[in-house]
Structure 1
Amino acid sequence: MVFTDDMKTCSQLSGGGGGEIQNQVNVSEQETSIVIRQEMRHLCIRLCLYVLLAKGLMASAEHVTGSLNGRVILPCTYSGTTTTMCWGRGGCPSSKCNYEIIWTDGTKVTWRKSDRYQLLGDIARGNVSLTIFGVTEEDEGTYCCRVEIPGWSNDQKIEHIVKIYEAPSPPEPTDQSVHTIHVPAVSGDVTVVGSVKDILTLPCNYIIHKNQHPMCWRRGGCSASGCYDDIIETDGRRVTWRESDRYQLLGDIIQGNVSLTITGVTREDEGTYCCRVEIYELFYYVKKEIKIQILNSNHSKETLYVF
């Protein structure tokens, strides 16, 4: 009898304890579920933040249009400490630039794919806008300006979409307009007239003989031999030295087009320039002197060649 009562008591205690344990299990599962939901919410927030940061300081793509054989300017500026940056073809990747065309170290250009790509602004002050000269249909597409800012996903990224159109026929010149006169190959002297901040081209061409020929440009008249105080030199195929990025040879050097382009001209650029081509096999030098004249700002800004 006592044994039976004890069994009932154990059974009652066991049954009651089992229910309490079950309740504790249910509470534990609910708490776990809440914790999991909170962790999932935090994970989603972190993923969203990561996606936003991965995009960097991305501005919406801007459209830039230009005409064949002309030039286009793709704006890109930044503020703060000077830093490295690059331009590339295609959209901005997660780091660096795709199909790189130009790099700077924050103060100057350290590499460029072609002289057609120029940074003519004040690089050290954050103006890294890209100018493309002699544009063709192949230049159409997306370009990425990437400024490398220290920190995780802090880079500034700007995309531009370039569209090239065929240039319209030029209007008939009027008495008030200054027009361009075509320049013959390396013979006779020329005066190039422009205004402050213009881009001026000093024509110089030569006929290719057996090989390409080294040449140079200098300030002042042509000397009896060589270039002194030169501003740009080539080996006949490419530019080997230049005093400043303001001096560019944008023509086909290999085909003998060594015309000098000077960007952002100032009154200090006035004067005489010498184009000198060394043709060794003929023991001959092609020498051409060109003068620059800067007009007052109220004159037309087109280029005039005066013979």
Structure 2
Amino acid sequence: MTVADGVRAEERGTAVLPCSFTHPGTNFTLVGSVIWIKSDTDVIFKCTYSETDHSQGELCENVTQRDSGNRFRFVGNLSNNDISLMMEGLSREDAGPYLCRVELNIGSFQAQSPTKLEIEGKKECLSVVSALTAQ
């Protein structure tokens, strides 16, 4: 499994948690589940490919999905060994470690170390108005 050590995003923004895996070469079509876990215990996202068609750009369509209010979206491609996850509407509570896992018909794979998501406060643009006085 290949993951980022950390991802930084703004509060109320969007972040992508990248995750890819390698497996022994096989002639099987990959089917199974993509799972993302926060803090080693809370499954925040699970997407099950029950069919063999998981082409590029498919965002867990035609599969079973549990995603906690539609804030989490699969943006990877199982055929390309990519199980990346997009998180939208981030809050400070979303900060923390995340593990990716894939359970396939040929075996299960899980990241050995988590990706740490850091949430920064929303940067506000301030207008500065200054007055010039005539002398």
TM normalised by structure 1 equals: 0.31
Runs of 4+ that moved beyond 4 A: none
1:231 aligns with 2:56: no
Q: CA deviation at 1:247?
A: 0.3
Match of 1:285 in 2: 109
Contact 2:35 2:43 in 1 (8 A): yes
1:206 aligns with 2:25: no
Q: What amino acid sits opposite 2:34 in the alignment?
A: M
Contact 2:12 2:88 in 1 (8 A): yes
Root-mean-square deviation (CA), in Å? 2.5
Contact 1:213 1:279 in 2 (8 A): yes
Matched residues in 1 for 2:33 and 2:2: separation? 18
The 1:280–1:286 alpha-carbon spacing in structure 2 relative to 1, beyond 3 Å, is farther
Which of the two has greater strand per residue?
2
Match of 1:64 in 2: none
Q: String of CA shifts for 1:247-287, please: whole Å, max 9, x gaps.
A: 001232343322110011111111111111124534x4232
User: 105, 120, 127: which is aligned to 1:295?
Assistant: 120
The 1:242–1:298 alpha-carbon spacing in structure 2 relative to 1, beyond 3 Å, is closer
The 1:298–1:202 alpha-carbon spacing in structure 2 relative to 1, beyond 3 Å, is same
Identity of aligned residues (%): 23
Match of 1:257 in 2: 82
Q: What amino acid sits opposite 1:194 in the alignment?
A: A
Gaps of 5+ in 2: 55-59, 125-135
Match of 2:36 in 1: 217
User: 271, 284, 290: which is aligned to 2:96?
Assistant: 271
Match of 2:10 in 1: 195
Matched residues in 1 for 2:106 and 2:46: separation? 19
Q: CA deviation at 1:188?
A: 5.4
Q: CA deviation at 1:192?
A: 0.4
Contact 2:102 2:110 in 1 (8 A): yes
Matched residues in 2 for 1:250 and 1:280: separation? 21
Q: CA deviation at 1:189?
A: 5.0
Contact 1:212 1:256 in 2 (8 A): no
- How many residues align structurally? 107
Contact 1:273 1:289 in 2 (8 A): yes
Gaps of 5+ in 1: 1-185, 222-227, 300-307
Contact 2:2 2:20 in 1 (8 A): no
Q: Which has the higher contact order (CA 8 A, sep 6+)?
A: 2
SS where residue 106 of structure 2 aligns?
helix
Q: What amino acid sits opposite 1:187 in the alignment?
A: T
Match of 1:145 in 2: none
